[in-house]
Amino acid sequence: MTGQPGTDRQRQPYLPAMGKQWLLPLYDPFSRLAGVGRIHGQLLDRANLCRGQRILEIGCGTGNLLLALGSRHPAADALGIDPDPAALRRARRKAARRDLPIRYEHGYAGELPLPDDSFDRVLSAFMLHHLAEDERARALREVGRVLRPGGEMHVVDIDGTPSGRGGGRAHRSARVAGSHPERVLAALAGAGLTGVAENGHGTAWFGRFAFYRAGVGSGG
């Protein structure tokens, strides 16, 4: 649930999970209060997960989505990628406490340190809206590269559709404008993914959210 502080190719800028690095300890309590665990469950319900699949989460943050996956499939072959070393340390500690074989690695969604055709599922939870448009396009192309033929990407993110209630909050509107469902669907399709669709939506106290799926054709 994090986006993309660092300076060289190994330390690119990124947006920490709570917007500021010093707020990271509040991330898990905030997620619980916001009901994010329930939303993670809904994302996993949609992901068509089966035994033997390799699963990647981009922007894994402190690891909560893959922990939920591990509760369902304790032996799942799962990897989380995130640019925030502090968040990754928390994720690793939590997986170790639960004795789950989840791996977490430092990396950026737009430059995945992974081979082609190596995963059956890619998951993303409340991360894409953290990326600038060009970085989101790179990240989605990378998803297409690492997915095996017939593989799928499953996403949940905030829904940037204007509420119609007015009242400004212009800073927020500018940040989430790219999360309007039409723009997300266009970005998925523009990255060469197939079967692109919005497949659910909901509302939490922090606002609206939407689910998406996309895939890689069985022919490659």
Domain architecture of the chain: domains with CATH: 23-215 (3.40.50.150)
Tokens of 194: 């197939």
Tokens of 12: 């690119």
112-152, pLDDT tens digit by residue? 999 999 999 999 999 999 899 999 999 999 999 999 999 99
Concatenated DSSP letters of 71-83: HH-TT-EEEEEES
State the pLDDT confidence band at 169, using cuts at 50, 70 and 90: very low
Write the single-letter amino acid at 108.
Y
Q: Where are the alpha helices (DSSP H) in the chain?
A: 27-34, 36-46, 64-72, 85-97, 133-146, 170-176, 181-190
Tokens of 51: 């035994």
Amino acid 19: pLDDT: 60
User: Residue 214 CB: number of other CB atoms within 10 A?
Assistant: 26
CA gap 70, 68 in Å, rounded: 5
64-104, pLDDT tens digit by residue? 999 999 999 999 999 999 999 999 999 999 999 999 999 99
